[in-house]
A and B are shown apart, each in its own frame.
Chain A
Amino acid sequence: MKLSTLLFQFFQNGLVLLLAPLLLGWVNQCRAWLQNRSGAGLLQPYRMLFKLFHKDAVLADNASVLFRSTPYILFSCMWLAASLVPMVATDLPLSAAVDVIALVGILALARVFIALAAMDIGTAFGSLGARREMLVSFLAEPALLMVFFTAASISASTSLVTIVETIAHRGFFIYPSLAFAGIAFLMVLLAENARIPVDNPSTHLELTMIHEAMILEYSARHLALIEWASSLKLLVYMSIGFALFLPFGITEAGNWAALPLSLAALFAKLAVAGFGLALLETLSAKQRVFRVPEYLGTAFLLAVLAILIHYLLGA
């Protein structure tokens, strides 16, 4: 392994850590603008993390080791996932070891731990949130896998690096299958990141909450890690979306001169996608929890159609 690729891996690891709260801040700021509020500013998530890291943690009496270790597990899973997805360049030493199926596995591992930790204290809200989270994710995961399989059968590889290189190299070509998979992926992204048609990220007081219900018992540094992990998760999903559907502008292996340009491309893509997410959340209303299986069933249907169309039309 060359030193330059190793250095680049460290660069991406640092970049995602710093970039994730900024992305969350940008999405919240766009939402505020669209709702005619002035908003808290782009740096609010950083201030929030700073505040939480300087507080004293409060734990319930019956909290076990699981409860205390889950924030660290969650954070490391998301950090690992974020450093695997090619965002700026395809030259990632870690990415060679892990393909898209393992990536789904890493995300599932994080989910299992947060659900277990939510039930650990034994509060009503915790187990309610955990059950709903498992309901959403067990329906969203097959759809996500099908989206990955579509992209994998187009490029004949399950490695994200190869998928990016294949699709980016072909130039302009209409893939009906990728269009279907893209819509399915967007629906999964909204569901998995606790966004509006499925869950409302800005509420703590409703009986409809999913993600917030699971982390109600956490405070201080534990909460900070969980918040940071969920902003990393949003970044992971967005960059998977870019890697599969908009891989243009990602630097090829060894071509270091193009790096500033691809960084600019990444920032532009994230800015547009963040605004799009805020717009989508402002325009749509939250669904009833019982409608969620129908919503995710549609996502699964679209993803399966994508793979079928790929095999029929070859595109």
Chain B
Amino acid sequence: MAVIEHLPIAQQLLNLFAALLLLIAFAMLSQRRILSLINLFALQGFILTLSIADSAWLTHQNHLYYSAALTLLIKVIILPWLLHRLIRQLNIEWDVETLINIPTTMLIGIVLVVFAFNLALPISELSGTILRHTLGIATASVLLSFMMMITRRKAVPQVIGFLAMENGLFFAATSATYGMPMVVELGIALDVLVGMFIFGIFFFQIRETFDSLEIRHMEKLKED
């Protein structure tokens, strides 16, 4: 356990951002409406941007500013805009999904967080960065987004879960190693963007074929 008494304000802020990311991951897990899910995703991207910019300022790593700008552009502006347009076109803006028992999901989420914190402790001992304590939170938000993908029944929330998982991974990369090389980051950002376009086309195809975006319709191979 870290004893943090007289930290610079930037690092205190970083801890706050990390905690907020975890809170948003839980909020996404329990959110029923697709529209608010997208807004939460945009908020997650925004807090990620703030935390990357903050760690750039704290560690004087200038290339992190570029990652922050890239995150802001792609994850706060373009992807939410694409998703908004998509659900408007698919006409599922006000869809409400019935979730399996929210308190149970939350409790499983807490277990995941404990697991992730324990998992991250030895790794963060190895890492020498001043951001290493947030690695546990990053791992936890990856696992929570993964669980969101598992528990959802419709296609769009699953894709949002996937994108949120990517956010968590990005945060993990920043906190463990001060970010990846610029080429890799650019590549991932483009991949996510292209992936989103392909998902968009898939959604229309799925709905053409099955008349619904529920995943369970795709479990059967034959029409009966």
- Residues in chain A within 8 A of chain B (CB atoms): 170, 173-174, 176-177, 179-180, 293-294, 297-298, 301-302, 304-305, 308-309, 311-315
Contact = CB atoms under 8 A, between A and B. Distances in A.
A149 B23 CA distance: 19
A301 B106 CA distance: 7
A176 B16 contact: yes
Nearest to B114: A308
A176 B113 CA distance: 16
Chain B contact surface mostly: helix
B103 interface: yes
Interface string B126-153: 0000000110110000000000000000
Contact of A177 (B2, B13, B19): B19
A298 B23 CA distance: 11
A297 B108 CA distance: 12
A191 to B, nearest CB: 15
Contacts, number: 68
A179 B18 CA distance: 13
Interface residues of B, number: 30
B136 A314 contact: no
B136 A312 contact: yes
A311 B113 CA distance: 12
7 contacts: A174-B9, A174-B15, A176-B16, A297-B106, A305-B110, A305-B113, A313-B133
B59 interface: no
Contacts of B106: 297-298, 301
A312 B110 contact: no
Interface string B77-118: 000000000000000000000000011001001100110010
B163 interface: no
A174 B16 contact: yes
Interface in B14-30: 15-16, 18-20, 22-23, 26, 30
B36 interface: no
Contacts of B4: 313-315
Contacts of A293: 103
B117 A311 contact: yes
Contacts of A180: 19, 23
Given A294-B103, A309-B19, A314-B4, 19 more contacts: A170-B5, A173-B12, A174-B9, A174-B12, A174-B13, A174-B16, A177-B19, A294-B102, A298-B106, A301-B109, A304-B110, A305-B113, A308-B113, A311-B117, A313-B2, A313-B19, A313-B134, A313-B137, A314-B2
Nearest to A304: B110
B136 A179 contact: no
Contacts of B13: 174
Contacts of B114: 308
A66 B170 CA distance: 62
A312 B12 CA distance: 13
Contact of A301 (B3, B5, B20, B110): B110
A179 B19 contact: yes
B113 to A, nearest CB: 6
A140 B201 CA distance: 47
